[in-house]
Structure 1
Amino acid sequence: AERRDALVQRLSLYKLRAQVEVMPIPDAVFVAWGADVPEGFVADPRLSALGGRRWGDQSETDAVEADWQAHRLALGVPDPTQDALMDKTYPIEADFDLLNGIDFHKGCFIGQETTSRMKRRGTIKNRMMAIAFDGPAPERGAEVLKGELRAGEVMTGAEGRAIALMRLDRMDGDLTVEGRPVRVEKPGWIPDL
C-alpha cells in the first residue's frame, strides 16, 4: 500500500499509446493457504505452497498479516515489496527466476541484459535465503558475518526467521548476526547452488 502511488506512476510510463488507465483499487487483498484454499482464490504463481489470493471488499479471515509473514518466511520466499530493494537488488538475486518472476524467453524488461548475462554465465553471487536464529529478528540491514567476513545482509524477519541477501560462497560454516549464531535454511524449491 505504501508503494501504490509510485507503482501507478511507473506503470503509467509504460502504457505508451495504449488506451488504458492505470489506477489503484482500494479493495483489500486476501491470502489463503493450507490444505483447503477456498473457491475464488487464484493460485499464487510463485510457489504452490503459498496458497492463493483474491481481492475484494470483504472476506472472513482467521489469520492476520503476521501469520502470513510467518508462513512466507517458513517457506523461505522473499517478499518483493519488502526484501528486494528496487534499485539495488537484481531480480535474479531475489530468486525471481526460481519463483516464476522472470521469463528468459520474453524480451525487453528493465535489467534484462544484466539478468540474462548473470544466468547465462552462472555468475550469480548472491541469493535471498532464509536464515534461522533464536529470538527476535535482527534489524533490517544487519550484517551476516562468517568470522570477520561479510556474508550477507538481513532484509525482513520475524521471531526465529528472516530473509537475508547472502553471498553464495559464504553460506556455510559458523555465521552470526549481531553476535548471535544463525544458520541458512535452503528451502527445497531452491536447486543446488
Structure 2
Amino acid sequence: MPSARLDDRGLVEVAGAEARSFIDRLVTCEIETMSAGAARYGALLTPQGKVIADFIIFVGPEPDAFLFDTPASCVGDLIKRLNLYRLRAKLTVADRSALFRVVVGWDEATHPPDAITMAPDPRRPELGWRAIVPVESRAPLGDVADSDAYHAHRIGLGIPEATRDFAAGDAFPHEALMDQLGGVDFHKGCYVGQEVVSRMQHRGTARTRIVRLRYEDEAGHAGAEITAGERALGRSSSAPGSSGLAMIRLDRAGDALSAGEPILAGGEPIRFDKPDWVRFPYPGEQPASPA
C-alpha cells in the first residue's frame, strides 16, 4: 500500500469570484461543473495547440479557489500565461508551492488525514489518489515510497507526464495521449488552441504518439533514439526497468514491422506493449473498421 510525496510537482492557485469561468475558457478540460472532492486532468495550450503545461486541477480549499498540480518546472510559465489572459478578471494567480505539496497513494494506500483536498487521479483508476497537504504535514503515511516508485508505477501503466515524457511547448495533446486519458473535453466551449485540437480529433491526423515499450534486456534506455534500419522512428523518454515510454511516428513503426525489421532503442531490441485503455491502433495493428 505505497504512498509518496512528489517533490517534482508545484502548485498554482487561481482564486476569486471569476476564477471558475476564467479557467474554463482557457484549459482543455471542463471545470464549470467541478465540485469539492473532484479533480480534472487538463492542459493550457499555445494558440497553435501545443501543451504549455499539463496539470490536475482541484477545487479548494475555498469554493472559489482552484489548485493546479503541475510539474514544478512549469509553474513560472503557467503563472505568466494565466496572468497574460487575466486582464480585469476578479481573481488572483499565485504560486503556492511553498505552502502545499502533492502526495499520492495507490493500491489502497492510507489517506492523509490533514489533506486540504484530495480525489482519485482523474486519468486512470490504477493511479490511485492524489492529495494536497500542508507543507509541514507528516504525510505520506504507512508504506512510504519515493517519487521514483510512483513514476515507475505510472510508466508501467503507460501514462506520460509533461517534462518527463514530452517537452513543454513541443507536443500536441493527442501526441501526449491526453485524448485517451480524459484530458480534453471535446464537447465544451472554446479554449486556447481548440481549433487545432478539434481538427486533429476529427481528421485523425495524430501520426506521432507516446507508446509503451518493453525492453528485452530488462534495462531501459531513457533518451535513446528509436530506430528501424537506417530510419529514425522517435526517441524514448522515461525508462525504469524493463518498461518505458517513447514518442514515435506510428506510421514509420508500422512500416518497419510490416517489413520485418527489428526496432531498437539505443541499439537494444524493443517491442511495443499496448495498455488496455489505449483506443488508437498501435504499430502492427489494423485500424478498426468504421461502424
The match for 2:268 among 161, 176, 180 is: 180
- Deviations 1:59-84 (CA, angstroms, capped at 9, x unpaired): 13411011001000100000124223
Residue identity over aligned pairs, in percent, reads 35
Q: What is the rounded CA distance, in whole Å, between the counterparts of 1:139 and 1:5 in structure 2?
A: 26
Count how many residue pairs are aligned between Structure 1 and Structure 2.
192
What residue in structure 2 maps to residue 149 of structure 1? 231
Higher mean alpha-carbon deviation, 8-17 vs 19-28, is at: 8-17
Q: CA deviation at 1:2?
A: 2.5
What residue in structure 1 maps to residue 12 of structure 2? none
Confirm whether residue 14 of structure 1 aligns to residue 97 of structure 2. no
Q: What is the rounded CA distance, in whole Å, between the counterparts of 2:280 and 2:205 in structure 1?
A: 15
Q: CA deviation at 1:38?
A: 2.5
- Amino acid in the other structure paired with 1:138: H
- Amino acid in the other structure paired with 1:47: R
What residue in structure 1 maps to residue 166 of structure 2? 84
CA RMSD in angstroms comes to 1.9
Classify 1:109/1:146 alpha carbon distance in 2 versus 1 (closer, same or farther; 3 Å).
farther
Query: Structure 1: which 5+ runs fail to align?
Result: none
Query: Structure 2: which 5+ runs fail to align?
Result: 1-71, 282-291
What residue in structure 1 maps to residue 186 of structure 2? 104
- Amino acid in the other structure paired with 2:126: A
What residue in structure 2 maps to residue 138 of structure 1? 221
- Structure in which a larger fraction of residues adopt strand: 2
- Amino acid in the other structure paired with 1:2: S
The match for 1:189 among 251, 259, 277 is: 277
Classify the secondary structure of the residue corresponding to 1:3. helix
What residue in structure 2 maps to residue 32 of structure 1? 105
When the two structures are superposed, what TM-score results if normalisation uses the length of structure 1?
0.90
Q: After superposition, where does 1:155-166 map in structure 2 within 5 Å?
A: 155-166=237-248
- Amino acid in the other structure paired with 1:13: L
Q: What is the rounded CA distance, in whole Å, between the counterparts of 2:92 and 2:239 in structure 1?
A: 36
- Deviations 1:93-141 (CA, angstroms, capped at 9, x unpaired): 100011111111123333322221111011210111111213543242x
When the two structures are superposed, what TM-score results if normalisation uses the length of structure 2?
0.61
What residue in structure 2 maps to residue 118 of structure 1? 200
- Amino acid in the other structure paired with 1:180: E
Q: CA deviation at 1:160?
A: 2.0
Q: After superposition, where does 1:49-60 map in structure 2 within 5 Å?
A: 49-57=126-134, 58=137, 59-60=139-140
Query: 8 Å contact 1:152–1:167 — kept in the other structure?
Result: yes
Q: What is the rounded CA distance, in whole Å, between the counterparts of 2:152 and 2:93 in structure 1?
A: 32
Q: What is the rounded CA distance, in whole Å, between the counterparts of 1:32 and 1:171 in structure 2?
A: 35
Classify the secondary structure of the residue corresponding to 1:22. strand
Q: What is the rounded CA distance, in whole Å, between the counterparts of 2:207 and 2:189 in structure 1?
A: 24
Classify the secondary structure of the residue corresponding to 2:202. helix
Q: What is the rounded CA distance, in whole Å, between the counterparts of 1:16 and 1:104 in structure 2?
A: 26
Q: What is the rounded CA distance, in whole Å, between the counterparts of 1:186 and 1:9 in structure 2?
A: 37
What residue in structure 2 maps to residue 94 of structure 1? 176
Q: CA deviation at 1:148?
A: 2.0
Q: What is the rounded CA distance, in whole Å, between the counterparts of 2:123 and 2:110 in structure 1?
A: 16
Classify the secondary structure of the residue corresponding to 2:150. helix
- Deviations 1:35-75 (CA, angstroms, capped at 9, x unpaired): 35637631111111111111112213411011001000100
* Structure possessing the higher radius of gyration over alpha carbons: 2
What residue in structure 2 maps to residue 169 of structure 1? 251
